[in-house]
Amino acid sequence: MGIEIKTVGVIGAGQMGSGIAHVCSVAGFNVRLNDLSEDRINAGLATINGNMARQVSKGAIAETDRQAALERIKAARSYDDLGACDIVIEAATENEEVKRKIFTNLCPSLRPDAMVATNTSSISITRLAAATDRPEKFIGIHFMNPVPVMQLVELIRGIATDDATYESSKEFIHKLGKTSTAAEDFPAFIVNRILLPMINEAIYTLYEGVGSVEAIDTAMRLGANHPMGPLQLADFIGLDTCLSIMQVLHEGLADSKYRPCPLLVKYVEAGWLGRKTKRGFYDYRGEKPVPTR
C-alpha cells in the first residue's frame, strides 16, 4: 500500500512551483512552499493569490474556496519545515546538478516513508533518484505549464521506483482533477520529446531565413491549427528551458537531429529568454509584443 498524501511540499516558488502549490491547495491538500529566500516565497504566494482571483472572476472557483486554499499554503523557510510532508515535489530550474544537490540536502529532513518527486521536463529520473536515500520512493511528476490550466501530468518511473509510489502518485494526480499518462524514463519523456524538436525546427526555419517570426507563427497557428505559434510558445516556456531540453535530447540520444539551433543558443547567451526577461523572439517591453527578427 502506498502512502496517503495529505501534505505536499513544493521546492521552487517560480512559475511551475507556484502553479503546483496552487492546484494542490485548491484540491484540499495542505502545502508547504519552499524557495531560496523569503522574498521568492512571497512572490510565489502573490502569484498564486492573483491567479486564484482570476479563477474567481471567471467563476471557476468560489471566493470562499480561494480563501480556504490560500490558508492551506504555508511558507517553508528551510527543508526542516518540509519534515511533515507526505510528498515533496521539486520544481527548481532545469539543471541536473542543482536538482541533485536539492535532493541530497532535502532527504535528511524527511520522514523515512515520505515520497520525493521531481517536476523535471527532461532529465533522467533514475539518475536524480540516485541522489536520494530512497530511490524506490522517487518518481517523476511532470506538470504542464501553466499548471492550473493544463490537464495532463506525465508520471515517469525510475528503474527503482516501486509500485506503491507509482500508485500513490497516480491517485494524487486524480485527486487534483488532472489526467496522468505513463512515460518511460527516456530523455524528455513524451510531450517534450515531440514538442521541443518542433520548436527547435521552427527556430532553424527562422535562422535559415525561410520565414520571419511573424510568418512562422502565423503559418503554424492558421495552417496547423495550433493555439500558439512555436516561437511564441518558446518565449512562454523560456528559451533557456528550451535549450536545456534540446541539450538533454542531443546528449542523451546522440542523434544530430536534436542539435540545438545556433540561434537559440545565441538568444540564451544574450539573456533574451522570452517573456520572463521581456525579450525573446518577441520584445514584450511595449504595450504589444513585437517580433525581434
Active site residue 42: no
Give the phi and the psi of residue 109 in degrees, each rounded to 5. -90, -10
Q: Which amino acid is at 226?
A: H
25, 168, 192, 200: which one is catalytic?
192
Question: Per-residue DSSP letters for 65-129?
Answer: HHHHHHHTEEE--SGGGGTT-SEEEE---S-HHHHHHHHHHHGGGS-TT-EEEE--SSS-HHHHH
The Cα 293–Cα 281 span in angstroms is 7
Active site residue 121: yes
Angle formed at CA 195 by CA 191 and CA 201, multiple of 5 degrees:
160
C-alpha cell at 67: 480563501
Active site residue 250: no
119, 142, 169, 244: which one is catalytic?
142
The Cα 188–Cα 249 span in angstroms is 7
Active site residue 142: yes
Q: Are strands 138-143 and 115-118 parallel, antiparallel or unpaired?
A: parallel
CA of residue 10 relative to chain centroid, distance: 12
Does residue 221 contact residue 213 with C-beta atoms inside 8 Å?
no
60-91 b/e (C-beta count within 10 Å ≥ 16 → b): ebeeebbeebbebbeebeebebbbebbbbbbb
124, 154, 168, 180: which one is catalytic?
154
Q: What are the C-alpha distances in Å from 38 to residues 28, 34, 53, 74, 178?
A: 24, 8, 22, 12, 30
Q: Which amino acid is at 53?
A: A
18, 30, 119, 121: which one is catalytic?
121
Q: Which residues are catalytically annotated?
A: 121, 142, 154, 192
